Amino acid sequence: MTRLPDPDLDRELMALADQVLDEPRARELREQVAADPVLADRLAMYRESRALLRTSRAQLQLPPPSPALAALGRQLAGAPVGRPPRRRHWRFAMAVAAGVLASMALNAWRSTLGSGRLDPALAAALAATPSGEAVTLGASELLVLGSHQLADGRYCRDYRLSPQGSADAQRACITAAGHWRARPAPAAAVPGEDGYRLAGATPPPEGRRLDEAEEARLIARGWRP
């Protein structure tokens, strides 16, 4: 086995490779390295690892962000939320504007935990908002993450209310009678697991994710099959 430089010297070599070792120690060490193949190899290892990571990072071209993240990015940039405003935003904005104070909306949202039925304003907004878009609901923001169809045919939508709601994704499914009811989302199903997972990208195991076109058709006809 080849010997390793002693730990203190080894750290200095790494700092030299990372160009954070002060002169004159850096110069001394370079001279030492020139005379010692073991040190030279170790220095090369540090330099090469950094170079590999930097080069790979320069090559990295990520695909466009998830719809939900893209919507968030547009919003942060000060652009209109989601795509340019459409009439439906006004439609449910009017529906929810009447008397929806932040605390009321939050209390209503909380009350859904007992009965399972969503607050009407939340349900209306949830039914009308495409995935990846966010709308203002009182003082909260509703961000719709995705839509799914369960094996039994029911439709479900994942969303998040912030900042007043839970940081976790919520899920609601529409009943045959046309009511949106809260349903355990992955985060709630297994406490502690998936705490920060947004469910938009992950269909429930017993269902399938709806694509944009299917979702648009369902929004247009009020989620009736």
Partner 1 sequence: MLTPAPAAFRRELGGLLPRLRGFAYYLCQDLVLSDDLVQACCQRALEQWALFQPGTQLDRWLFRILKNLWIDRLRATPAEAVLEDEAWEALPAPDWQAAMERRLLLDQVLAALGRLPPPLRLVLVLVCVEDLSYRETADLLEIPIGTVMSRLSRARAQLLQTLGTDHDPSA
Binding residues for partner 1, rule: CB under 8 A, are 1-4, 7, 10-11, 14-15, 18, 20, 38, 41-42, 44-46, 48-50, 52-57, 59-60, 62-63, 65-66, 68-69, 72-73, 75-78, 102-103, 139, 160, 162-164, 167, 192-198, 201-202
CA nearest 169: which of 149, 137, 147, 139? 147
Rounded least distance, CB 102 to partner 1, Å: 6
CA nearest 215: which of 92, 126, 94, 123? 126
Query: In the complex with partner 1, which residue's Cβ is closer, 91 or 193?
Result: 193
Query: In the complex with partner 1, which residue's Cβ is closer, 72 or 93?
Result: 72
Query: In the complex with partner 1, which residue's Cβ is closer, 8 or 152?
Result: 8
Rounded least distance, CB 206 to partner 1, Å: 19
Rounded least distance, CB 73 to partner 1, Å: 5
* The dihedral sign for the CA sequence 67, 159, 155, 187: positive
Token pair for 128: 């009308």
Query: In the complex with partner 1, which residue's Cβ is closer, 68 or 126?
Result: 68
Query: In the complex with partner 1, which residue's Cβ is closer, 57 or 87?
Result: 57
Residue 146: φ, ψ to 5°: 175, 170
Largest CA distance in the chain: 83
Rounded least distance, CB 132 to partner 1, Å: 11
End-to-end CA separation in angstroms for the chain: 70
**DSSP secondary structure of 59-105:** H--PPPPPHHHHHHHHHHTTPPSSSSP-HHHHHHHHHHHTT--HHHH
Rounded least distance, CB 155 to partner 1, Å: 22
